[in-house]
Amino acid sequence: MFAELFAVTAPVFLIALLGFTWVKRGQKFPTDFVSVMNMNIGAPALVFNGLLGLGDKLFEASDFILASAVTIVAMLALSTLVALALRLPKRGFIIALYSTNSGNMGLPLCLFAFGQIGLGLGLTFFAVSVIFQFTVALFISHGNLRPASLARVSLIWGIAFALFFILTGITPPAWVTNTTQLLGGLTIPLMLLTLGASLATLKVENSGQLIALSALKIAMGVGMGLGVATLFGFSGVERNVLILQCSMPVAVFSYLLASQYNRNPQEVAAMVFFTTLMSVVTVPLILTYML
């Protein structure tokens, strides 16, 4: 069991550690450039191929898409209640508590733990999460909801093109699949390197309250994943992927929003760091429960 868990978790944490160490040693890492490339080119290519790989099974996963949306909405509601109950600055802490790093960390874990089917379901959760990030999370941070901004999210176009080929039954040209496979193959390791590099540049405030909130955030995610998976009657890979994606640390994107709109960026940065550090312990425990 230990060898199996190590094979799943070691690549994720070691590659992130490589990015972290690289920056801490004073080396340059183009975090902004890589992040933009991943979001606008790599992730759409990865989603395109992942959904094509699911094929007609994608429509069998319609319940999973709905469950992902229900989970995220429920986490938003619960995060709002926690922020109000604890009298926290609402905007910054809500986006931190509700978000999960379902991309940089969640996708490679879904792949290594559950194979291509797990990656496809993980990509589905990630796609739903991105839609919320660019609408609801932006509204919470900035106060202006602009659904039309989704048209500029390249990930949506990756989903749309995949659906076109699946619905029409047309086989995409080999040059399209080969190109997107190469780009998608680069995306996961670059996500992990960028995660480590981003953590290395965060200024962490050592606060007992923030550590407790970070632990609460992980617990909320695990509990919500278990609850929604049970509600939908999921079993096997669907259940495991939903729980795993919900249990991920605070998304780095939450810190970017908090920093851009001055919504307690230092506190959110600390929660990103603490939850990621906690995941070194919590992820193996969760996978032990699943595998």
Closest CA to 92 of 238, 263, 251: 263
pLDDT digits (tens, 9 = 90+) for 234-291: 999 999 999 999 999 999 888 877 877 788 888 888 899 999 999 999 999 999 988 6
- HEC profile of the chain: CHHHHHHHHHHHHHHHHHHHHHHHCCCCCCHHHHHHHHHHHHHHHHHHHHHHHHCCHHHHCHHHHHHHHHHHHHHHHHHHHHHHHCCCCHHHHHHHHHCCCCCCCHHHHHHHHHHHHHHHHHHHHHHHHHHHHHHHHHHHHHCCCCHHHHHHCHHHHHHHHHHHHHHHCCCCCHHHHHHHHHHHHHHHHHHHHHHHHHHHHCCCCCCHHHHHHHHHHHHHHHHHHHHHHHHCCCCHHHHHHHHHHHCCCCCHHHHHHHHHCCCCHHHHHHHHHHHHHHHHHHHHHHHHHHC
In this structure, are residues 97 and 220 in contact, taking their beta carbons and an 8 Å threshold?
A: yes
Average pLDDT over residues 173-179: 93
d(CA 155, CA 133): 12
- Average of per-residue pLDDT values in the chain: 88
d(CA 36, CA 42): 9
Average pLDDT over residues 202-223: 89
| Of the listed ranges 20-29, 47-56, 113-122, 179-188, the one predicted with least confidence | 47-56
d(CA 124, CA 258): 25
pLDDT band at residue 146, thresholds of 50, 70 and 90? low
- pLDDT reading at 59 higher than 80: no
| Of the listed ranges 2-11, 188-197, 233-242, the one predicted with least confidence | 2-11
pLDDT band at residue 2, thresholds of 50, 70 and 90? low
Domains and CATH numbers, the chain: 2-290 (1.20.1530.20)
Average pLDDT over residues 55-65: 79
Q: Quick one: pLDDT at residue 138?
A: 76
Q: Quick one: pLDDT at residue 273?
A: 92
**Residues, the chain:** 291
Q: Quick one: pLDDT at residue 148?
A: 63
pLDDT band at residue 195, thresholds of 50, 70 and 90? confident
Average pLDDT over residues 63-81: 95
Ramachandran region, residue 7 (left: φ > 0; alpha: ψ -120 to 50; beta: rest): alpha
Provide the b/e sequence for 99-111 (b: ≥16 CB within 10 Å): bbbbbbbbbbbbb
d(CA 232, CA 284): 25
d(CA 281, CA 270): 18
- pLDDT reading at 191 higher than 70: yes
Average pLDDT over residues 60-88: 93
d(CA 196, CA 15): 8
Amino acid identity of 241?
V
Q: Quick one: pLDDT at residue 149?
A: 62
| Location of structure tokens 């919320």 | 132
